[in-house]
Amino acid sequence: MKLALKTAVLAFAFAALGAQAQERVIRIGVLMPISGPGSYFGVMGKEGIDLALEQLKGSVSGYRLQVQYEDSACSPLQATNTVKRVLEQLKPHIVIGEECSDASLAIAPILEQAKVVQLNAGSVTMKLTESGYKYVFRIFPNGEQQGLPLGRNAYTKLGARTAVLLYEKTNAGVDSADGFEKHFVAAGGKILARIDFGRDVNDFTAIATRIAALGKVDVLPTFGLEGQQVRLSQALAQARVVKGGGGNAVQMGSIWLPYGFDQKAGAAAEGYIRIVQFDPTEKRSIVQDFIKAFRAKYGADRVPTHINAHAYDTILLVAEAVRRGATDSESIRDRFSKFRDVEVTTGRISFGPNGQTTDLSVIHFIETQKDLTWKGLDW
Amino acid sequence: MTDLLALFVQQSVNGVYLGCLYVMVALGLTLIYGVLNQINFAHADFVTVGAFAALFTATRFATKVLGLPDTGAYLLSMVAALGTGALLGLAVNAAVFAPLRERGDELRPLIATIGVSVIIENGQLWLFGPIPYQFDSPFSRETIRVGRIFFSMQSALVVAVSAAAIAALYAFMKFTFLGKALRAVAQDRETAGLMGINPNLLIAITIVIASALAGVAGALLGPVLVLTPFAGASVIVKAFAIVIIGGFGNMQGTIIAGLLVGIIEAFTVQYLGSGLIDLVVFVLLLVMLVVRPTGLIAERKEENV
């Protein structure tokens, strides 16, 4: 009897080990802000990732894509604690995230030490790919890459000569403002003031008053989260600074705002020119197929935002790496570093030696119209 | 009007509006401290509950069920926020504060307010989710212009409601029997009890009034805040600073300090930079603690509340 029991236990143990050896999995940790003022990033990001996984039926080349979502709240502290837990529990091959620069920067050295790839889709700070990390890859244009077209186009296309920089006091805000200033000033423009604000600022009337008192301002590059930008645009309109309030200044922005911002800000958003990372009017089949699938899953009236799109793209890129033979973190890193012109919904991805995407096809300009719709600008 | 004068007046107007918002939040805090000698760490969450109550009343009930126009819906939402705040205060007092007070321990009710705060925040997170809500007041879209000075109808409403709340509270305290009884309880709870006043009832009334004020503050702040279950936290730190600067538990001090902080904030944005607002306010707080630790209006129990 005892012998039979021992045999059964051994047989079970071997069977379990065998099953484990056969199961081929790519473990993906996803760190997104699901709570707090940046939670729209996380909610939209999850939609994009879920859709991509559904289309792939959860696996690629015999590898199951196992995804674990975590809330890192746009917060460096929470992101740090969360990534440590994910590393310990999930033992991921790759971590996607965070969306906010400060949180992304906080987890980068931890993932570097653990030799786990970090694929970032939504952070702008230069430091993320300029700090020598070998496991960081980013498909989002950095502050410099966005600042160049913003600054130059403000000067050349809009004929702007003066600007006031408005930005949240974070790495993302500062780097975005620096990027604009560098290229606007190089083109011959003048910065009249740099005005930063914390994420706890709720009322922007005093800031709008200050800008109104500065005299003729041509452009207002603005870098902040959606909720604050809505209030800021409304205050600027009230102070008759921006076009939406009868003023002359044009608000400009980099990739922070999703589609839908214009309706929330109302008339104040008229004339707002900004970069988006995803253009739903693009004719490429990957874009149109994505929109079709997105609407089928989430509702016919929905237009996918750049956050939906770039999150969707992260899974496409992981899948592409697996198709090219990646089986673990090290080989994902290797395949990523060889990516050239990989087509995704936001554009084409080619990673440079520092892990930053070098292809700027992901940058598209749009302008908010009087009726709060937007049109693409051929810039 | 010269440019400089216009700018000065405009920023003062902005500051008064901000100050009134802060006063609305701080009044409830100071009222509870004045009577109970207790800090309510859940006050921010009462404000958030008020904001959500106002939001859902305005957008779901008043417009869709009652068919009210936007302005009527928003005004009704303020009443709903007031009622929700009062009911919440009543419930929290009955369930948590009153039983703990009976044990005669001052620390436990204080810790309990932290617990209440966590429960309310997580309850709201469960109910409403983490994504910010867009709460537009119809008054925010209307701008009043007097010469070169401008302000939104919403700011005018905030100032008017704050002034009305202060006046009503003052009249209640000064001229009604309940108000006088409340002041007696603030001065000496035991002696007031010996005089036939029911201190527990008066304390419950205080908490209900403070919570109702928090609810109205939420309705006024809703269209200003990025509305999430944690929204109240962004103003509560400043409200605490105002209560301390004004003199803990002193209503007049709180009103003066609130307006002062609002005006300082507006001029800090103009001349130093908005990134330095918190620094300036908290330097002021530290200076007050060193130079005049009793606050702008020194604490005299009988004059509090």
Question: CATH no. for residue A132?
Answer: 3.40.50.2300
Inspect the interface and report whether the beta carbons of B273 and A37 lie closer than 8 Å: no
Q: Which structural domain range is residue A261 located in?
A: 144-276
Contacts of A80 (CB under 8 A, 6+ apart): A106, A107, A110
Same domain for A259 and A301? Answer: no
Same domain for A272 and A305? Answer: no
- Among B14, B139, B282, most A C-beta atoms within 10 A, so best to mutate, is B14
Inspect the interface and report whether the beta carbons of A203 and B143 lie closer than 8 Å: no
Same domain for A158 and A136? Answer: no
Same domain for A177 and A260? Answer: yes
The alpha-helical segments, DSSP class H, found in chain A are 2-22, 39-55, 76-89, 101-114, 127-130, 143-156, 171-187, 205-212, 226-238, 261-265, 285-298, 306-323, 329-337
On whether residue A374 sits in a domain, the answer given is no
* Residue B180: CA count within 13 A, CB half-sphere: 5
- Among B2, B269, B280, most A C-beta atoms within 10 A, so best to mutate, is B269
On whether residue A18 sits in a domain, the answer given is no
Cβ neighbour number for residue A238 with a 10 Å cutoff: 26
Interface contacts A/B by beta carbons within 8 Å: 93
Q: What distance, in Å, lies between the first and last C-alpha atoms of chain B?
A: 41
Same domain for A36 and A102? Answer: yes
On whether residue B85 sits in a domain, the answer given is yes
Question: Per the structure, how many domains does chain A have?
Answer: 2
Inspect the interface and report whether the beta carbons of A40 and B224 lie closer than 8 Å: no
pLDDT digits (tens, 9 = 90+) for A316-372: 999 999 999 999 999 999 999 999 999 999 999 999 999 999 988 878 899 999 999
On whether residue A339 sits in a domain, the answer given is yes
pLDDT-derived band of residue B300, with 50, 70 and 90 as boundaries? low
Of all residues in chain B, the percent with pLDDT exceeding 70 is: 97
SS3 A23: coil
Q: Which structural domain range is residue B61 located in?
A: 3-236
On whether residue B50 sits in a domain, the answer given is yes
pLDDT digits (tens, 9 = 90+) for A97-144: 999 999 999 999 999 999 999 999 989 999 999 999 999 999 999 989
On whether residue B301 sits in a domain, the answer given is no
φ/ψ (deg, to 5) at A365:
-100, 140
Q: Which chain B residues contact residue A34 at CB under 8 A? A: 130
Same domain for A230 and A154? Answer: yes
Inspect the interface and report whether the beta carbons of B270 and A201 lie closer than 8 Å: no
pLDDT digits (tens, 9 = 90+) for B283-293: 999 998 898 88
Inspect the interface and report whether the beta carbons of A43 and B131 lie closer than 8 Å: yes
Q: Which residues pair with B145 in a beta bridge?
A: B150
Q: Which chain B residues contact residue A202 at CB under 8 A? A: 221, 224-226, 234-235
pTM of the entire structure? 0.82
On whether residue A377 sits in a domain, the answer given is no
Cross-chain CB nearest to A40 (options B131, B140, B266): B131
Cross-chain CB nearest to B7 (options A213, A228, A231): A213
Q: Is the pLDDT of residue A156 over 90?
A: yes
Q: Is B78 exposed, middle or buried (0-12, 13-18, 19+ CB in 10 A)?
A: buried
Q: What is the ipTM of this complex?
A: 0.83
Rounded distance between C-alpha atoms, residue A253 and residue A234, angstroms: 15
pLDDT-derived band of residue B84, with 50, 70 and 90 as boundaries? very high
On whether residue B41 sits in a domain, the answer given is yes
Same domain for A166 and A262? Answer: yes
On whether residue A43 sits in a domain, the answer given is yes
Q: Which chain A residues contact residue B266 at CB under 8 A? A: 205-206, 209
Q: How far is B275 from chain A (nearest CA, A)?
A: 5
Cβ neighbour number for residue B135 with a 10 Å cutoff: 25
Of all residues in chain B, the percent with pLDDT exceeding 90 is: 46
Question: Per the structure, how many domains does chain B have?
Answer: 1
What is the rounded radius of gyration, in angstroms, for the C-alpha atoms of chain B? 19
Cross-chain CB nearest to B3 (options A71, A202, A213): A213
Inspect the interface and report whether the beta carbons of A205 and B265 lie closer than 8 Å: no
Same domain for A163 and A263? Answer: yes
Q: Which chain A residues contact residue B152 at CB under 8 A? A: 205, 238
Average pLDDT, chain B: 88
